[in-house]
Amino acid sequence: MTDHRSGFVALIGRPNVGKSTLLNALLGQKVAAVSPRPQTTRRRQLGILTLENAQVVFVDTPGIHQARHKLGEFLNQEAQEAFDGVDLILWLVDASVEPTEDDARISALIKELPTQTAQILVLNKIDEIKPEEERARVEAYSALMDSVEIKKISAVKRLGLGEMLEAVIQRLPVRPPDYPEEQVTDLYEREIAADLVREACLFKLRDEVPHSLTVRVDEFKERENGMAYIAATLYVERESQKGIVIGEGGKMLKSIGSAARREIEEMIGRKVFLELRVKVQKDWRDDPNALKQFGYAKRK
283: left (phi over 0), alpha (psi -120 to 50) or beta: left
pLDDT tens digits for 232-282? 999 999 999 999 999 999 999 999 999 999 999 988 888 999 999 999 999
Q: Cα(212)–Cα(195) distance, rounded to whole angstroms? A: 14
Q: What pLDDT, on the 0 to 100 scale, is given for residue 207?
A: 67
Homologous superfamily of the 5-170 domain (CATH): P-loop containing nucleotide triphosphate hydrolases (3.40.50.300)
Q: What pLDDT, on the 0 to 100 scale, is given for residue 35?
A: 67
79 closest CA partner among 91, 94, 68: 91
CATH 3.30.300.20 holds for 189-293: yes
Given a cut of 50, the residues of the chain with pLDDT beneath it are 300
Q: What pLDDT, on the 0 to 100 scale, is given for residue 298?
A: 60
Q: What pLDDT, on the 0 to 100 scale, is given for residue 15?
A: 87
Q: What pLDDT, on the 0 to 100 scale, is given for residue 12?
A: 93
DSSP H helical segments within 43-99, as ranges? 70-81
Q: Cα(22)–Cα(216) distance, rounded to whole angstroms? A: 26
- Domain assignments of the chain as residue spans, ordered by start: 5-170, 189-293
276 closest CA partner among 194, 210, 208: 194
Asked if 12 contacts 106 with a C-beta cutoff of 8 angstroms, the reply is yes
pLDDT tens digits for 38-54? 667 777 888 999 999 99
Q: What pLDDT, on the 0 to 100 scale, is given for residue 81?
A: 81
CA-to-CA separations, 123 to 19, 61, 99, 199, 267, in angstroms, rounded: 11, 17, 11, 24, 29
Q: Cα(218)–Cα(214) distance, rounded to whole angstroms? A: 13
Q: What pLDDT, on the 0 to 100 scale, is given for residue 159?
A: 95
